[in-house]
Structure 1
Amino acid sequence: MSPVPPRQTKQRTEILDLLGTLDEFRSAQQLHELLRARGSGVGLATVYRAVQLLVETGEVDVLRSEDGEAVYRRCERRSHHHHLVCRRCGRTVEIDAPVAEGWATQVAAAHGFDDVDHTIELVGTCAACRAAAHDTLA
């Protein structure tokens, strides 16, 4: 018997709607500030609880920023995928990585592991940020 999914609350709907407008990962605190700017009364503790639940249900992806803070994004793909993230502006591209999938399985098997999960985040500088940096130097 599968677990009963949590009911969709007004607050979770507001957070999902906001995440649907963003291309980059944002912290719970940043999401809270954006919601407040929209006139929402959702509290910070509610945002933290909601994003955790949304991660657990697979509606939102989470990764760790360079300083270790959890950041969240609503991805178009609900299936397993990875991210290419701009270190300057935060722009994020969802990517498939079939070679990485095979590599992870191969490495796990070579060490006697199975049922292995993995997360791969590639971080670089997008073309727009490179161009802006070049224009600043010129």
Structure 2
Amino acid sequence: MERRPAPSRGTAVRATRQGDAVSAALAETDAFTSAQDLHARLRAQGAAVGLTTVYRHLQVLADRGEVDMIRRDDGETVYRRCASDDHHHHLVCRSCGRTVEIAGPEIEAWTAKVANAEGFVDVVHTVEIYGTCTICAARPAT
């Protein structure tokens, strides 16, 4: 049985059918997705995966850097498998959840300048920009 490292926990987790199902379901969307929504999607597809298992596998994927996770305004953590392994940021549609990865070199320069001015080193950051995508903006208000 294949063992996969989970670096931040210092342990390995077994490669399982459920873990592969979670990973595959997450890869099917370009939007950030909650564990509950992912669980519901898997159950609708007939996968016998518990909600705790979904949470555990999402955490392992996040620990490995295979998915990005953000906390929405309502406090819920959502996950997304990103196309880029390079450092990037996100534009997120408030209506449909569609997400676009952006490089943002200006953000990197500004972050370095601010950190340097305050004497900070070894700085990390995330930036998510929320708005409404053109598709959702074109829909009539309900």
2: CA distance, partners of 1:109 / 1:9: 45
Q: 1:121 aligns with which of 128, 133, 136?
A: 128
Asked if residue 84 in structure 1 is aligned to residue 95 in structure 2, the reply is no
**Shift in Å at residue 9 of structure 1?**
2.2
Look up the equivalent residue of 1:49 and give its one-letter code.
R
1: CA distance, partners of 2:113 / 2:15: 39
| Structure 2 residue ranges without an equivalent (≥5) | 6-11
Instruction: Name segments (4+ residues, structure 1) moved above 4 Å.
Output: none
**Shift in Å at residue 8 of structure 1?**
2.8
Q: Supply the RMSD in Å over aligned alpha carbons.
A: 1.3
Per the normalisation by structure 1, the TM-score is 0.91
Aligned equivalent of 2:8: none
Deviations along 1:69-122, one digit per CA (max 9) or x if unpaired, are 000111111121100000111100011011101111111111010101100000
| Structure 1 residue ranges without an equivalent (≥5) | none
Q: 2:52 aligns with which of 34, 45, 48?
A: 45
Residues 1-138 of structure 1: matches in 2 within 5 Å?
Answer: 5=5, 6=12, 7-133=14-140, 136=141
Query: Residue 52 of structure 1: SS of its match in structure 2?
Result: helix
Query: Residue 119 of structure 1: SS of its match in structure 2?
Result: coil
2: CA distance, partners of 1:43 / 1:51: 12
Per the normalisation by structure 2, the TM-score is 0.88
Aligned residue pairs total 132
